[in-house]
Amino acid sequence: MQPGGTDRADRAEQPERADRAERADRAERADRLGLPDFDAVILAGGRARRLGGADKPGLMVGTTTMAAAVTAAVATAGARSIVLVGPPRPELAGLAAALPGGLIVTREEPPGGGPVPALRAGLAGVTAPWVAVLAADLPFLRAADVRELVRAAARDEHPGAVLSDDAGSAQWLAGCWQAGRLRGALDRYAGSSLRGVLAPLVPVLLRLASAGQEPPPWLDCDTPEALEAARRAVRAAPPAGRASASARQSREAAP
């Protein structure tokens, strides 16, 4: 090593040290939130027949894609890792870069085979004891909503919790589950209905209020009408409300 110089190995270690420090900071932050360790599985590989075969997770609502909105919500909520089931979406990697497990991308077999094969594929990448299972078309899901789901599921060791709509119906692709119980349910199930897998676990139904004037967090966009309604809601929000909604997750991420 030259006098006053920097050893090459030491230079190589500097980014790794910074990376470890960032991950440790996020883990400590999650501990302060009082949440159990959880991963997230985002199902983003459907055929979107009712949207004419469009790339539904990649559609914009406001200034972001729906897939990015869901990824940001679970990352900010404190997930250990995110498993994206669907085609690669490089733009999401940065949103999960600070997570201990980062972003894992996998596909169901066959691609587009439906939510049950997609859930099986996603669970293969889960190592945490709890897992949030979410659709990629939930543009109004926020980090606070994900945290409430995790807390509701973990309270009294329930098998899981799912959001319910205004009519009290379970939203099966907006939930959090004990990973072991979910794997067992999938092992016993030979059908193709996500409800058929999840309903026998008898999850807690969680009804959450919307953030301000936003639509509810369980609102999905699987039809042209629903997509346009979501976009209209964003356009109709007052400027201060739009700024508040877009900044909300970054505020929640602060220590």
Q: Is 38 helix (H, G, I), strand (E, B) or coil?
A: strand
User: Do residues 215 and 241 touch, judged by C-beta distance below 8 A?
Assistant: no
Say what the pLDDT of residue 63 is: 92
Residue 86 gets which letter from DSSP? Answer: S
The domain limits of the chain are 28-253
Overall average pLDDT of the 82-90 stretch: 95
Say what the pLDDT of residue 32 is: 47
Looking at the chain, the whole-number percentage of residues with pLDDT higher than 90 is: 67
Q: Each residue of 111-146: pLDDT tens digit? A: 888 999 999 999 999 999 999 999 999 999 999 999
Say what the pLDDT of residue 34 is: 82
Q: Give the CA dihedral 131, 123, 201, 111, nearest 10 degrees.
A: 120
Residue 114 gets which letter from DSSP? Answer: -
Cross-strand bridge partners of residue 42? 84, 134
CA geometry: angle 232, 171, 43, nearest 5 deg: 80
Give the whole-angstrom CA distance, residue 249 versus residue 174.
Answer: 18
Going 210 to 214 to 217 to 223, the CA torsion angle's sign is positive
Q: Each residue of 26-39: pLDDT tens digit? A: 555 545 468 999 99
User: Do residues 127 and 134 touch, judged by C-beta distance below 8 A?
Assistant: no
Give the whole-angstrom CA distance, residue 220 versus residue 169.
Answer: 14
Give the whole-angstrom CA distance, residue 234 versus residue 246.
Answer: 11
Answer yes or no: is pLDDT of 6 > 70. Answer: no
How sure is the predictor about 52, in pLDDT bands with cuts at 50, 70 and 90? low
Q: Each residue of 61-70: pLDDT tens digit? A: 999 999 999 9
Task: Indicate the average pLDDT of the chain.
Answer: 83
Say what the pLDDT of residue 157 is: 78
pTM of the model: 0.80
Overall average pLDDT of the 202-224 stretch: 88
CATH topology of domain 28-253: Spore Coat Polysaccharide Biosynthesis Protein SpsA; Chain A (3.90.550)
Q: Which residue has the tokens 């932050």?
A: 29
Q: Which residue has the tokens 């470890």?
A: 20
